[in-house]
Amino acid sequence: MRTASCPKRPTSSGTAPPRWWPANWVACAVCCLGVGWPALAQDVATREDFRRWYVEAGVARGGTWTASLGLNLPWTFERALFDGQLTGHWDAYISQWSARNATPAGVREAWTQLALVPTLRFRFDQGRSPWFIEGGIGLSVLDSRYQTRRKTFSTQFNFADHQALGWSFGERRQHEVLLILRHASNAGIKKPNPGENFLQVRYSKVF
């Protein structure tokens, strides 16, 4: 598989890295993913069934609640990794953020978020275990800038990432529940960039 050339971290003696450096990590990940895609596509079709719909809800520190509807759609690859199975899928969702009683007077209390996140999943015991972990990073947009008494975003466009622990059940593992930590921020592209973290629970089902 071809290798991608990732952005190099600027260095200068006694000088701290520029504030925009975190965004370079995102560019590197996207670059590597794009270059590696043809090789991944040569692998056999995954045993995971990622044609799933899901509902999800959670809360951030400070009282902002979120509820989501989403779809998981598969990539066509499967890789053995250590003693487990590595697979990938797209995570596309729409969320409603609600910060009632947590915003300054005269400021809106709800926002709609759209996001698309390429995600990698690792299932234990060569893919036989009902337990798995997953993580991904992608793009997100809010219908207006997020502002509460605690935090103010400087951009509507942000990066969205998550890490999750999940469990599959049912005769065909058609049901799943996940505990998810979601994060949204602009990777330091523009200040202020406080970011927001949500702890969420998801139920998903094959369709």
Q: What is the per-residue pLDDT for 6?
A: 47
pTM: 0.76
Q: What is the per-residue pLDDT for 19?
A: 42
Statement: residue 118 has pLDDT above 60: yes
What does the DSSP assignment read for 12-78?
Answer: -TT-PPPTTHHHHHHHHHHHHHHHHHHHHHTSPPPSS---EEEEEEEEETTS-EEEEEEEEEE-S--
154-197 tens-digit pLDDT? 999 999 999 999 999 999 999 999 999 999 999 999 999 999 99
Statement: residue 35 has pLDDT above 50: no
Statement: residue 101 has pLDDT above 90: no
Torsion sign over Cα 189, 191, 194, 200: negative
Of 67 and 149, the one with more pLDDT: 67
pLDDT band at 11 (very low <50, low <70, confident <90, very high): very low
Q: What is the per-residue pLDDT for 107?
A: 80
Least confident of 2-11, 50-59, 78-87: 2-11
pLDDT band at 9 (very low <50, low <70, confident <90, very high): very low
